[in-house]
Amino acid sequence: MSFNSIHADVCVIGAGPAGSVFATRLARLGHQVVIVEKRPFPRPHVGESLTPLVWDLLDLIDARDLVARTGIRKNPIVRVKWGSAEVREVHHSPNRAPFAVNRSRFDAALLEHARSSGVTVVQPAMVRRPKRRERSWEIELVGCHNPSHIFARFLADASGRQRVLGGTVCRSPQRLIAIEGRWRFGRSDGKTRVESGDHAWYWGAHMPDGAFSAMVFVDLTQYAGKYLARSRLESLYAALLDKSQLLGGLQGQTQMPGVIAHDASTYSDPNPIDALSIKIGEAAFALDPLSSSGVQKALQTALVGSVVVNTILAGGSTESAMSFFCDAQRSAVGQHKRWSQMFYRETDVFGGRDSAGITAEHEDRPKHLAEGAWVRLAKSTQLIKVPCLVGDKVEVRQALMHPRLSRPVAYLGGIYLQPFLDQLGNWHSLKDLRYSWRNSAEETQNDVLIRWLGRIGLLDTREKPWLDLPDTLTCGQPPEPPSIQASRGL
């Protein structure tokens, strides 16, 4: 064992947003964490466009103000030409608008925040393939004389598409390559552009430094081989811009040196966690860039992953923690896949409707509950036990399951459902139901829960439920059937 080694609870490989946020959260939970990053900061990086939900995630590690000081640019107006000749504008409120960051500064700020939270940072240093022991890891470092080794109980792969821990991935048949150039405008309207084209789509947005980033995402099956050769990249980029209505005018502006291409295809790792390691960010999955939510999802996997690993290190149920993380990833990837395919189906980016391979899903209209209605939980519902995030750990909770739900639901808006659902095994008027719930949650939360159950069809409703009883029953109140647990065999 080398004298210049580090011993830690968790070693994180990669200091991008996912790695830094994951490390920060675990350090604040009392664990010894070390990050290894192969490149010095600041470093250039793609992915400058962020969704407004990122602010809520940064609040969880008290990093909002820190990131805001790095310089951001809000882009509240988006010009869209998608699947038709019509050009329309989408307006976002200023406080919930997408925004652009300087990724060099953004990543450096999050890493410094991790350091100030107690995380040990080793940078720059290359990781030789980690060696897995029976209950720990040995990580040898290359190009770094002190330390030369890290010994850790748990290993987190946040290395992005490099995927240091390897493993198989499920790749989408629809492969994208992104070609990016930077421009300087004489005058600018400040609007973001999104446009679909023939086997390609376009995105352009203003950056905090005043430059305009213009990207073309091309179908790899149409532009593979010689079309993407480095010697022809700039001419291909110019030719594609000429075909764009919203970005074609860039040819009259000043182009900054350098056009780059990088992989933008989607994939997911079906096994992102085991008892001693976890993959977060793009080491676990990569989303279609159409949503501009790659950084948001990376931060979400980091925050969820930190709670999962905290559960394992603290002696909680490793099986439940792993199950929760895998289920959360499958749900996120599946939901995003359906969303992106819905939009691509409207275009010729991948050949149109037939090649998208999906059909439009039927969406039920909201069901209105009359104020005088009597309700009970639908007979096809079940309460099952599932792992859930509870504070800083994963614990097993009762959750509602129904054919209309894509996954079990244990919490709605922070409200644990099981105590409320127990009462819905019997018929209740809405008035009595709200009264009986008055001490369990706020009135507005009760209304949200009732509307949600009614909207997706999880409630049986009657104006007067006793009218359906046999004639021999003449009492003036509805009968009291067994509790929901008994009626569902739980």
Around Cβ 33, how many Cβ atoms within 10 Å? Answer: 28
How do 459-462 and 120-122 pair as beta strands?
Answer: unpaired
Supply the pLDDT for residue 448.
85
At residue 280, φ and ψ (nearest 5 deg) are -130, 165
Closest residue by Cα to residue 299 from 98, 120, 58, 119: 58
Supply the pLDDT for residue 332.
92
Report the first-to-last Cα separation within the chain, whole angstroms: 53
Q: Please name the residue that has the structure tokens 């929760």.
A: 324
Q: Which residues of 304-336 are buried (b: 16+ CB within 10 A; e: fewer)?
A: bbbbbbbbbbeebbbebbbbbbbebbeebbeeb
Structure tokens, 364: 């039920």
| Ranges of CATH 3.50.50.60 domains, the chain | 5-73+99-166+270-344
Asked if residue 130 has a cis previous peptide bond (ω within 30° of 0), the answer is no
The percent of residues in the chain predicted with pLDDT above 90, rounded, is 54
User: Which residue type does 456 have?
Assistant: I
pLDDT beyond 90 at 281: yes
Q: CA-to-CA distance for 37 and 125, rounded, in angstroms?
A: 6
Rounded to the nearest integer, the mean pLDDT of the chain is 86
pLDDT beyond 50 at 472: no
pLDDT tens-place string over residues 224-235: 766 667 678 888
Supply the pLDDT for residue 447.
84
- Tell me how far CA of residue 345 lies from CA of 173, 195, 203, 257, 259, in angstroms: 15, 14, 18, 35, 29
| Ranges of CATH 3.30.390 domains, the chain | 374-487
Structure tokens, 398: 């009762």
Supply the pLDDT for residue 484.
34
> Which pTM was predicted?
0.85
**Secondary structure of 370-413 as H, E, C letters:** CCCCEEEECCCCEEEEEEEEECCEEEEEEEEECCCCCCCECEEC
The percent of residues in the chain predicted with pLDDT above 70, rounded, is 89
Per-state percent for the chain, helix, strand, coil, to nearest 5: 35, 25, 40
Supply the pLDDT for residue 226.
61
CATH number at 5-73+99-166+270-344: 3.50.50.60
pLDDT beyond 60 at 290: yes
Q: CA-to-CA distance for 246 and 192, rounded, in angstroms?
A: 10
How much is the average pLDDT of 355-384?
66
pLDDT beyond 50 at 488: no
Q: CA-to-CA distance for 417 and 449, rounded, in angstroms?
A: 9
pLDDT tens-place string over residues 152-180: 999 999 999 999 999 999 998 888 999 99
Q: CA-to-CA distance for 240 and 247, rounded, in angstroms?
A: 10
pLDDT beyond 60 at 363: no
pLDDT tens-place string over residues 392-441: 999 999 999 998 888 899 998 888 888 888 888 888 888 888 888 877 76
Among 3-7, 210-214, 266-270, 403-407, the range with the most confident prediction by mean pLDDT is 266-270
Three-state DSSP state, 473: coil
How much is the average pLDDT of 468-473?
40
Q: List Cβ neighbours of 401 (8 Å cut-off, separation of 6 or more).
A: 381, 382, 383, 384, 408, 409
| Ranges of CATH 3.30.9.100 domains, the chain | 176-263
pLDDT beyond 50 at 105: yes
Asked if CATH classification 1.10.1040.10 holds for the domain at 176-263, the reply, yes or no, is no
Three-state DSSP state, 423: helix
pLDDT tens-place string over residues 52-80: 999 999 999 999 999 999 999 998 999 99
Supply the pLDDT for residue 464.
64
User: Which residue type does 60 have?
Assistant: L
At residue 420, φ and ψ (nearest 5 deg) are -75, -40
Q: CA-to-CA distance for 231 and 408, rounded, in angstroms?
A: 52
Beta-sheet strand order (sheet of 170-171): 170-171, 267-268, 285-286
In Å, how far from its chain's centre is CA 320?
Answer: 21
Supply the pLDDT for residue 135.
93
How much is the average pLDDT of 323-348?
92
The model's confidence at residue 476, banded by pLDDT at 50, 70 and 90, is very low
pLDDT beyond 90 at 369: no
- Tell me how far CA of residue 318 lies from CA of 172, 307, 314, 408, in angstroms: 30, 12, 10, 20
CATH number at 374-487: 3.30.390
Around Cβ 474, how many Cβ atoms within 10 Å? Answer: 8
DSSP secondary structure code for residue 273 in this structure? B
Structure tokens, 64: 């909002």
Which of residues 425 and 360 earns the better pLDDT score? 425
How much is the average pLDDT of 196-220?
92
Contact criterion met (CB below 8 Å) for 324 and 316: no
The model's confidence at residue 352, banded by pLDDT at 50, 70 and 90, is low
- Tell me how far CA of residue 5 lies from CA of 12, 20, 32, 152, in angstroms: 15, 21, 14, 11
Supply the pLDDT for residue 435.
82
